[in-house]
Amino acid sequence: MAAQILDGISVGKAIKDEVAAEVAEYSRRGLQPGLAAVLVGNNPASQIYVSSKVKTCAELGIYSEKIELDESTTTDELSMLVHDLNQRIEIDGILIQLPLPRQIDSKRVLNLVDPAKDVDGLHPVNVGKLTIGERGLRPCTPAGIIEMLDRYQIQIDGSRAVVLGRSRLVGLPVSLLLLHRHATVTICHSHTPDLGAVAREADILIAAIGRMAMVDASFVKPGATVIDVGTNRVTNEADLERLFGDNPKRRAAFEKNGYTQVGDVNPREVSEVAGHLTPVPGGVGPLTIAMLMKNTLSAMKMRRGNG
Q: Is the pLDDT of residue 305 over 70?
A: no
Interstrand relation of 184-188 and 204-207 (parallel, antiparallel or unpaired): unpaired
Q: Is the pLDDT of residue 150 over 70?
A: yes
Work out the percent of the chain whose per-residue pLDDT is above 90: 96
Closest CA to 244 of 274, 219, 212: 212
pLDDT band at 306 (very low <50, low <70, confident <90, very high): low
Same domain, 80 and 148: no
Number of domains in the chain: 2
> Is residue 106 located within the same domain as residue 44?
yes
Q: Give me the pLDDT at residue 141, please.
A: 97
Mean pLDDT of all residues in the chain?
Answer: 96
**Distance of CA 168 to CAs 7, 123, 148, 174, 209, Å?**
25, 11, 20, 9, 12
Q: CATH no. for residue 204?
A: 3.40.50.720
267, 277 Cβ separation under 8 angstroms: yes
Q: Classify residue 69: in a domain, yes or no.
A: yes
Q: Are 103 and 220 within one domain?
A: no
Please report the pLDDT score of residue 304 as a whole number: 85
Same domain, 110 and 144: no
Which residue blocks in the chain are alpha helix, DSSP H? Answer: 8-28, 44-60, 75-87, 106-112, 124-132, 140-151, 171-180, 195-199, 237-244, 248-257, 267-270, 285-303
Specify if 299 maps to a domain: no
pLDDT at 1: 66
User: Which domain range does residue 58 map to?
Assistant: 32-114
What average pLDDT score do residues 232-257 get? 92
Residue 100 pLDDT: 96
Model confidence, pTM: 0.95
Q: Are residues 167 and 237 in the same domain?
A: yes
CATH (domain of 59): 3.40.50.10860
Is 300 part of a structural domain of the chain?
no
**pLDDT tens per residue across span 55-111:** 999 999 999 999 999 999 999 999 999 999 999 999 999 999 999 999 999 999 999
Cα-based distances in Å from 158 to 37, 54, 118, 132, 275? 39, 39, 31, 19, 17
Looking at the fold, whether 144 and 72 belong to one and the same domain comes out as no
Are residues 259 and 199 part of one domain?
Answer: yes
Find out whether 3 and 275 touch, Cβ atoms under 8 Å: yes
Instruction: Indicate if the pLDDT at residue 307 is higher than 90.
Output: no
Q: Are residues 188 and 274 in the same domain?
A: yes
The answer to whether position 20 is within a domain reads no
Q: Is residue 177 part of a domain?
A: yes
In a domain, 124, yes or no: no
> In terms of domains, do 191 and 276 share one?
yes
Ranges 206-210, 235-239, 302-306: which has the least confidence: 302-306
Q: Verify that 261 and 145 share a domain, yes or no.
A: yes
128 found inside a domain: no
Per-residue pLDDT tens over the stretch 33-54: 999 999 999 999 899 999 999 9
Looking at the fold, whether 149 and 242 belong to one and the same domain comes out as yes
Look at residue 254 and tell me if it is in a domain.
yes
Active centre residues (catalytic) = 53, 97, 120
- Are 158 and 48 part of one and the same domain? no
